[in-house]
Structure 1
C-alpha cells in the first residue's frame, strides 16, 4: 500500500488520540517498517491492520469504526489531490460513479504499482447507486468512511449500507449509497 495511507493514519491517531497514544501504538506493534513511513513509500497492508488492531486495544473502539473514521478523515486530503489533477465532480454520486473510469485511472498514472480495490458501480436511480467493492484486502469499512467523507465534502446527506459477501479468493462487499 502507498505510504500516504500510513502517514495519514498516523496523523489521524495524533489528531484524535494525541501524540502519546501514537507513540504507545507504534511501540506496541512489531512492524517490518519499524513504523517509519513516508508518503511515497510502499508498505505491506498487514501493517495497517496491525496498527488498527492495536489502536482498538488501546482505545476500546471497534476496528470497523476506526477504519470508517479514518476514511472520513482521509477523504478531504484525497480531494485536494484530485483537484490538483484537475478532477472535478458535480457531487458525491457523480464522483463515486467515476471511481473506476476516471479516478483510479489517474491514480495508476501517478502510481503504476498501486494495488487498488475495484468498484463495479451501477446507478439505480438519480439518488441511489450500488457499488460492489472487491479487494484482496479487508478494507470495505475504510471505503465506507471515504464515502461518508465524500458526502460531507460535497455537503450532501448520504445513507450508506453494506453487505459483506463471503468468498475465499477476495473480500467482496455490496455498498448501497443513497443521497437523501
Structure 2
C-alpha cells in the first residue's frame, strides 16, 4: 500500500483525536511514535492493517467506524489537496463512482508497484448500481466508507449496502 494512505490516517487521527492518540496507535503497531511515511513509498499491507487495528483499539471504535471515518476524510479533506480536480470533473456522486476505476487507473499509472483495487459496475436501474470490487487486499469495508464520503462530497444521501466481500450496492436519491 502507498504511504499516502497511512499519512491520511495519521492526519485524520491527529486532527480529530489528538497527536498523542496517533502516536499511541503507532507504538501499539510496533512502530516508532514519530514514524514518517513517504507518500509514494510502498508500505507492507500487513503493517498498514496493524496500524488500522491499533487506531481502532486506541479510539475504541470498530473497523467499520474507522473505515467510514477514513473514507469521509480521504474524499472531503485529504485527497482534495492532491486530487481535487478529479472530483470537480463530475457534478454528482453516481457519475464520479462510475468513473472510479478509470480515476484509480489514471492516478496510479505513474506510481511504481501500485496495485489499486479495480471496479466494475452493474446498473440495476436509474437509481441503483452495484460496484464489484477486486483487490487482493480485501478492504471492501474501506470502499464502503469511501462511497459514503463521495455522497457527502456531492451532498447526496446515498444508501450504501455491503452485499458480500466483493460487492456493494449504492442507491442514489
Quick check: TM above 0.5? Answer: yes
The equivalent residue for 1:176 is 169
- CA distance in 1 between counterparts of 2:128 and 2:161 reads 11
TM-score scaled by length of structure 1 = 0.85
Give RMSD over aligned pairs.
2.1
Go from structure 1 to structure 2 and tell me whether the alpha carbon gap of 1:87 and 1:112 turns closer, same or farther (over 3 Å shift). Answer: farther
CA offset digits 1:159-180 (Å, max 9, x no partner)? 000022xxxxxxx421000112
The equivalent residue for 2:14 is 14
Aligned residues: 171
Unaligned runs of 5+ in 1: 165-171
8 Å Cα contact 1:31/1:47 also seen in 2 = no
User: Which residues of 2 match residues 46-65 of structure 1 at below 5 A?
Assistant: 46-65=46-65
TM-score scaled by length of structure 2 = 0.89
The equivalent residue for 2:89 is 88
User: Which residues of 2 match residues 107-146 of structure 1 at below 5 A?
Assistant: 107-146=107-146
The equivalent residue for 1:2 is 2
Equivalent residue of 2:170, what SS? strand
Unaligned runs of 5+ in 2: none
CA offset digits 1:3-30 (Å, max 9, x no partner)? 1101011001101221111111112222
- CA distance in 1 between counterparts of 2:94 and 2:73 reads 19
Report runs of 4+ in structure 1 exceeding 2 Å deviation: 76-87
